[in-house]
């Protein structure tokens, strides 16, 4: 199933129930007073956190979400039943926007678990509300308020501990399959991963969520390749592993690294606070002296960035990478 990280929906709250026009009709009371009850309130449309979800796939094929209308009041001062709220379940990291204005309504996370997006209409007033000393038999009522219709954009930004960056075929899918429980598709062609892939790496003490973020190529911040679709996910990770194909010639490897870093700099979100490590991949295909030279060059260019030569095939460097990730996160 495709990974869905955006959903455009129409949220319609419930209309308020109308107030009731009624007078008491009881034996021996020929002229009973007004007893028309108020209408019930319409239901709200609410976006709510479901910690078991990690995508918006549950909204696939659904466009209109409408809460229940309130019921009208009745005699004997009976208030109409309020309409049920409609709850839209989403994962943590879902940002809610108004489609019409582009305004951000809110973000669903562990601290902000419910957000109202369409308020139900208030119920109308029954004629009992309008009785006064000068009007003992009012025939006035009010109708319930209309429903509220809002066009909404839901946008998911994955929340993972570690994000894997790198040009297509840098080895991200192979690495996440190696160190986590993910079964990411692996192939020797560009864009093996078309959807973010989540995996969990765990030991006796903790679990670390790792996201394989595809589609980041030169020009991604301006929409090239799979464009900005996945840069927003990288922003939500706590830590970035930048994978570079170690079989490339030194200058090409440096260029590959710089391409991704430039896209992060030019994207509208600020990545400057996120720590990065560099992983030089596919070291099983490199001669020892070539690998040593490559590591030295990267250390010279990026002296403050830890560098890990790894091979997901031969397992070289994998254990130390896992061990240090558990220490870091």
Quote the tokens at residue 50: 């479901």
From the list 326, 307, 306, 41, the residue with the least C-alpha distance to 202 is 326
Q: How far apart are CA 77 and CA 74, in angstroms?
A: 7
Which helix (H) or strand (E) segment holds residue 149: the answer is: strand 149-156
Q: Which two tokens stand for residue 43?
A: 């239901």
Average pLDDT of the residues of the chain: 86
Check if the beta carbon of residue 272 is closer than 8 Å to that of residue 243: no
Q: What angle do CA 179, 201, 166 make, to 5 degrees?
A: 55
pTM for this prediction: 0.70
Confidence of residue 180 (pLDDT cuts 50, 70, 90): confident
Task: Quote the CATH superfamily of domain 1-156.
Answer: GTP1/OBG domain (2.70.210.12)
* CA separation, residue 78 to residues 74, 89, 149 (Å): 5, 33, 28
pLDDT band at 321 (very low <50, low <70, confident <90, very high): very high
Phi, psi of 223 (to 5 degrees): 105, 0
Interval 168-192 mean pLDDT: 67
Higher pLDDT, 186 or 18: 18
Closest CA relative to residue 305, chosen from 218, 210, 239, 212: 239
Is the pLDDT reported for residue 185 higher than 50? no
**What pLDDT does residue 1 have?**
45
Q: How far apart are CA 325 and CA 64, in angstroms?
A: 43
Q: In the chain, which residue ranges form alpha helices assigned H by DSSP?
A: 172-179, 228-236, 250-266, 288-301, 318-328
Q: What is the pLDDT of residue 214?
A: 66
The pLDDT of residue 217: 54
Contact 109, 70 (CB under 8 A): no
pLDDT, tens only, 34-85: 999 999 999 999 999 998 888 898 998 889 999 999 999 999 999 999 999 9
* DSSP conformation class of 133: S
What is the SS3 assignment for 104? strand
Q: At what angle do helices 250-266 and 288-301 cross, to 10 degrees?
A: 40
pLDDT at 2: 58
The pLDDT of residue 243: 95
DSSP secondary structure, 192-244, as one string: S--S-EEEEEE-SS-EEEEEE-----TTGGGT-TTTHHHHHHHHH-SEEEEEE
**In the chain, ranges of CATH 3.40.50.300 domains:** 162-328
Is residue 204 a contact partner of residue 180, using CB atoms and an 8 Å limit?
Answer: no
CATH topology for the 162-328 domain: Rossmann fold (3.40.50)
pLDDT, residue 238, reads 83
DSSP state of 305: S
What single-letter DSSP state applies at residue 7?
E
* pLDDT tens string 206-257: 889 888 876 555 554 444 444 455 667 777 788 899 999 999 999 999 999 9
In the chain, list all ranges with CATH 2.70.210.12.
1-156
202/207 Cα distance (integer angstroms): 4
Least confident of 31-35, 141-145, 295-299, 309-313: 31-35
Give 24's contacts (C-beta < 8 A, 6+ positions apart): 32, 33, 34, 35, 75, 76
- Which pLDDT score, from 0 to 100, does residue 287 have? 94
Name the token pair of 10.
């129409």
CA distances from 141 to 78, 121, 284 (A): 14, 16, 82
If 0-12 CB within 10 Å is exposed, 13-18 middle and 19+ buried, where does residue 58 land? middle
């Amino acid at each position: 199933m495709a990974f869905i990280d955006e959903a455009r929906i129409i949220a319609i709250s419930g209309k308020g129930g109308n107030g009731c026009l009624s007078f008491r009709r009881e034996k021996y009371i020929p002229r009973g007073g007004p007893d028309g009850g108020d209408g019930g309130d319409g239901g709200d449309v609410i976006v709510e956190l479901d910690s078991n979800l990690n995508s918006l796939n549950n909204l696939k094929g659904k466009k209109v979400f409408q809460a229940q209308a309130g019921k009208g009041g009745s005699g004997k001062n009976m208030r109409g039943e309020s309409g049920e709220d409609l709850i839209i379940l989403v994962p943590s990291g879902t940002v809610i926007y108004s489609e019409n204005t582009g305004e951000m309504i809110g973000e669903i996370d562990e601290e902000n678990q419910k957000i109202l997006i369409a308020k139900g209409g208030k119920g109308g007033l029954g004629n009992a509300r309008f009785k006064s000393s000068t009007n003992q038999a009012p025939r006035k009522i009010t109708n319930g308020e209309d429903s509220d219709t809002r066009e909404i954009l839901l946008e998911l930004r994955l929340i993972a501990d570690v994000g894997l960056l790198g040009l297509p075929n840098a080895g991200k899918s192979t690495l996440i399959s190696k160190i986590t429980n993910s079964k990411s598709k692996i192939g020797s062609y560009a864009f093996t991963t078309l959807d973010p892939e989540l995996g969990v790496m765990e030991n006796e003490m903790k679990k670390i969520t790792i996201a394989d973020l595809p589609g980041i190529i030169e020009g991604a911040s301006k929409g090239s390749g799979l464009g900005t679709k996945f840069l927003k996910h990288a922003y939500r990770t706590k830590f970035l592993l930048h994978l570079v194909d170690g079989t490339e010639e030194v200058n090409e490897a440096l260029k590959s690294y710089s391409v991704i870093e430039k896209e992060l700099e030019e994207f509208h979100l600020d990545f400057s606070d996120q720590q990065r490590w560099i992983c030089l991949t596919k070291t099983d295909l490199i001669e020892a002296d070539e690998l040593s030279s490559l590591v030295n060059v990267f250390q010279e260019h990026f002296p403050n960035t830890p560098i890990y030569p790894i091979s997901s095939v031969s397992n070289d460097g994998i254990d130390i990478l896992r061990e240090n990730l558990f220490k870091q996160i």
